[in-house]
Amino acid sequence: MDINYLPKSLNLDDNLDIQVFAYNTSKSSTKQKISLTQNVISFLVEGAKEVTSENTPIHIENSSFLIIKKDHCLMTEKLSSSEANYRSILLFFSDEAISQFMKKHNIFKKKKEQSHSVTPIDYDNYTNAIVKSLLEISKLTMGTQKKMLQVKFEELILYLINTKGAEYMSSFFMDNATITNKFISVVERNKLNKLSLKELSFLSFMSISSFKRAFSNHFSESPSKWFLDRRLEHSAYLLLQKKQRVSDVYNEVGYKTLSSFIQAFKAKYGVTPKQYKRD
């Protein structure tokens, strides 16, 4: 399995608490396997980005940026239509940088807050200005960068807390869930996202064999059977509640042909999709 370990894959130092990288490419990528060993704020400048972690995929254009906790994720990068280019400014920061910031400003974790692995935020005039300053900082010597990034990081997080609220940011800073909770979250939140076992196990921090074993222990059936049932249940909802046509539903729930969908639906519900919708 090809995995990019960031920031190491960008030739950055994993041991630095805060660092910045100006990322440019003329090649798009789809569901690239990324292991983030540090947290990152991905300031999109040109193109489009989609990130899948234990949450459903989050898609942004260059009017937004993402805060992403260190994690395994699937990342898609699309070129801008006008320039055929993808550009972003990546601000990496360690858990220690977050911890020191929280201590300094007396921000405490709230156990009941939901933790967000990927958080989209729209640009405003202030964050646009920060992106420009980070780009200039990235051109300086490492010694100067290190000093200036500490100040810039603090400025940015203070601004986000001022505009989004301390509760909003403290929920992001919460500790990661346990492996078991993460596994369940990945499965439940991606039950309709048509991810492969390889992708699901990667997001769960498991090998494929460990994922299958954990799945059988928790759900008491195979992944293929469980996901099939969830897709068919969703198709029944679309047919009955949303009044969608059978010809529109089968592809949406992951079937390549209408005949295979009808066969699977009848095996589960005892009637064809058309009969189910009519009854």
Average pLDDT over residues 200-229: 91
Q: What is the mean pLDDT of the chain?
A: 89
Average pLDDT over residues 20-40: 94
Does position 159 have pLDDT exceeding 60, yes or no? yes
Does position 12 have pLDDT exceeding 90, yes or no? yes
Q: Domain coordinates of the chain in residue numbers? A: 4-172, 179-278
Does the 179-278 domain belong in CATH 1.10.10.60? Answer: yes
Tell me what pLDDT residue 172 has.
60
3-state secondary structure of 138: coil
Which residues, including other chains, have CB under 8 Å from residue 223's CB and lie 6 or more apart? 197, 200, 211, 212, 215
List Cα–Cα distances, 68 to 72, 73, 91, 105, 124, in angstroms: 10, 9, 10, 22, 19
Cα–Cα distance measured from residue 169 to residue 39, given in angstroms and rounded to the nearest whole number:
13
Tell me what pLDDT residue 105 has.
86
Does position 8 have pLDDT exceeding 60, yes or no? yes
Instruction: Kindly indicate the confidence band of residue 52, based on its pLDDT and cuts at 50, 70 and 90.
Output: very high
* Residue 36, burial from CB neighbour count under 10 angstroms (0-12, 13-18, 19+): buried
CATH topology of domain 4-172: Jelly Rolls (2.60.120)
Does position 78 have pLDDT exceeding 90, yes or no? yes
* Sign of the dihedral defined by the CA atoms of residues 77, 81, 86, 87, in that order: negative
Cβ neighbours around 82 below 10 Å, total: 7
pLDDT in tens, 92-137: 998 888 888 888 988 766 554 556 788 899 999 999 999 999 999 9
273: preceding bond cis by omega (within 30 degrees): no
Amino acid, res. 244 = Q
Shortest CA distance to 90 belongs to which of 147, 141, 49, 53?
49
Average pLDDT over residues 206-212: 87
What is the share, in percent, of the chain residues with pLDDT greater than 70?
92
Q: In the numeric block, which tokens belong to residue 39?
A: 């947290």
What is the share, in percent, of the chain residues with pLDDT greater than 90?
64
Does position 212 have pLDDT exceeding 60, yes or no? yes
Tell me what pLDDT residue 111 has.
54
Instruction: Kindly indicate the confidence band of residue 210, based on its pLDDT and cuts at 50, 70 and 90.
Output: confident
Cα–Cα distance measured from residue 35 to residue 72, given in angstroms and rounded to the nearest whole number:
5
Tell me what pLDDT residue 207 has.
82
Average pLDDT over residues 16-40: 94
pLDDT in tens, 233-264: 999 999 988 888 998 898 888 888 999 999 99
Phi then psi dihedrals of residue 219, to 5 deg: -105, -5
Phi then psi dihedrals of residue 134, to 5 deg: -65, -35
Asked if the domains 4-172 and 179-278 are classified in one and the same CATH topology, the answer is no
